[in-house]
Structure 1
């Protein structure tokens, strides 16, 4: 394996600290525009993350290109810059594409898709981009010690280098890293083969029915349904497990204190998901807020309902 080029190629921590500074800059931008456009961002829902992506694209795209001398604010403070193999700054188009390769997997990682999406070809493509992309980026950041290129650098042939050091021969990446990246991407494609068949079986199919029914209620923007177990420490140091069903809803109107809406959602769970009766609680979490990727703000309220008590109320009403 080629020796590490310590002089020209920027080190891991210098590069990470530069990125952290840039994230602070973007966070401040997101905070201030959130004060002005918070209602708009709430209505955008999951699409709000595109706002942060576009701001990041302009910030990193312009400053990491020849226009900004290959240096964002963080890179300028840490004295590193983005260059090509010849040591020259890259064009604006190359810089925009470089950032896109890096940011798109993280953008899509928390995207909100419909249930039908889980049973389509696009699930495999999305898994490749998100999980294959993120795992490859992180792996190369950590283990490619020769050229310190991550996925977006390899795609564009760029390097992050120490700005005050003359250009050197950057060396070549170990081919084993490329094999591992290929295996990570292959695994990302294979995983949906298992998950797509799993969601068609009980209890997942019933949980998706709950999700669809709740999503049809007024002022509900997004719904997540899950079932799990939590452990509670009791007196005497003993712990006990508590099984629950959780429904997390994102609201387009601030109704997090609306207990009647929470109860209506819990009753839907009881009707559409028979296994809920075997659980200790039905938890409804109502959230109002926004997430634009570079900044987010939200408030929430949760309600716990006893399934047996709810069933008794229904029987009494009948």
Structure 2
């Protein structure tokens, strides 16, 4: 233990342990908020993550700063803290910037964009944030052993160190790490351009029309729809191929077990997406709940239908 504390730079697992403690604290706050504001969070939808992001930014931004000696409750428990290269704690604005760089890729993931035209403009920055940012953070956390700085530490010039240790000279970040991270950011920025032709396919346009039709039905809030193929291996080593259209339907009301309602949605799929009649199944998964980033609660139920049968159902 003494040898570990003599090291200025904090080890990987100590840092992860502190993060787990902080996550439990924030999760407890999220549970309490969800108990009182569940219906509000459900209405907000994917943007509810901004609530958790704001709470976490205040928590990490203030406590990792000089205001609390660079220590969250988790860091205090593990006797580590956030400092700059001079072993001095940082101010609140820099601490909040540090946390934002770390958290944005995780909180942006899963954001629900209802306006497709808006999504076409956001897909490039989203790709950079999600794929580039996520990879850079995880990669540097694991492989940058010289300084143990991840992306957010490198940008603002901070270190997570053992609180009782004296500052020591550290090796520089291996250049190959920086080259790999930069390359991933560049590829993430260009990636949407290579898949944009999918948006122009007739199948995609047809699925988009089906999605819009489903979105217009109450209490539907948001729908994600895919045309997929599933391969399964049977006991006699034969491969079984199942084709299906899957609609993931997020609801404003908890009616996930309502098969009649799911059947109505399946009928819309069959009538607006002609290719569905060539598939084995239409799967309608009804989903109710919320995700505020620091806590989530979901109820879901999958309903399966024969495309030909639902196509000829009469409307109520």
Q: Same fold (TM over 0.5)?
A: yes
Distance in structure 2 (CA, Å) of the matches to 1:308 and 1:233:
26
Following superposition, the deviation at residue 258 of structure 1 comes to: 2.8
Give the match for residue 116 of structure 1. 117
1:40 is the counterpart of 2:76 = no
Give the match for residue 3 of structure 1. none
1:98 is the counterpart of 2:94 = no
Do 2:250 and 2:288's aligned partners in 1 also have CA atoms closer than 8 Å? yes
Do 2:271 and 2:311's aligned partners in 1 also have CA atoms closer than 8 Å? no
Normalised TM-score (structure 2): 0.93
Matches within 5 A, 1:54-93: 54-93=54-93
* Cα 1:41–1:171 shift into 2, 3 Å: same
Give the match for residue 20 of structure 1. 20
Following superposition, the deviation at residue 209 of structure 1 comes to: 1.3
Distance in structure 2 (CA, Å) of the matches to 1:241 and 1:177:
42
- Local SS of the residue matching 1:199: helix
Matches within 5 A, 1:88-167: 88-114=88-114, 115-120=116-121, 122-167=122-167
Following superposition, the deviation at residue 170 of structure 1 comes to: 3.0
Distance in structure 2 (CA, Å) of the matches to 1:250 and 1:268:
16
Do 2:222 and 2:249's aligned partners in 1 also have CA atoms closer than 8 Å? yes
Which range is displaced more, 258-267 or 39-48?
Answer: 258-267
Following superposition, the deviation at residue 171 of structure 1 comes to: 3.0
Following superposition, the deviation at residue 264 of structure 1 comes to: 2.0
Matches within 5 A, 1:171-210: 171-210=171-210
Which range is displaced more, 248-257 or 283-292?
Answer: 248-257
Distance in structure 2 (CA, Å) of the matches to 1:292 and 1:301:
21
Distance in structure 1 (CA, Å) of the matches to 2:118 and 2:227:
21
Do 2:267 and 2:313's aligned partners in 1 also have CA atoms closer than 8 Å? no
- Please list every run of 5 or more consecutive structure 1 residues that lacks an aligned counterpart in the other structure: 1-5
Following superposition, the deviation at residue 223 of structure 1 comes to: 0.8
RMSD: 1.8
Do 1:81 and 1:160's aligned partners in 2 also have CA atoms closer than 8 Å? yes
Give the match for residue 30 of structure 2. 30
Following superposition, the deviation at residue 153 of structure 1 comes to: 0.4
Following superposition, the deviation at residue 240 of structure 1 comes to: 1.9
Give the match for residue 289 of structure 1. 289
Deviations 1:75-105 (A, max 9, x none): 1111111000000000011111100011111
Distance in structure 2 (CA, Å) of the matches to 1:24 and 1:233:
40
Following superposition, the deviation at residue 236 of structure 1 comes to: 5.0
Normalised TM-score (structure 1): 0.92
Give the match for residue 308 of structure 1. 308
Following superposition, the deviation at residue 144 of structure 1 comes to: 0.9
1:51 is the counterpart of 2:45 = no
Do 1:105 and 1:130's aligned partners in 2 also have CA atoms closer than 8 Å? yes
Following superposition, the deviation at residue 21 of structure 1 comes to: 1.5
Following superposition, the deviation at residue 312 of structure 1 comes to: 4.2
Which range is displaced more, 152-161 or 12-21?
Answer: 12-21
Distance in structure 1 (CA, Å) of the matches to 2:80 and 2:227:
47
Following superposition, the deviation at residue 239 of structure 1 comes to: 5.0
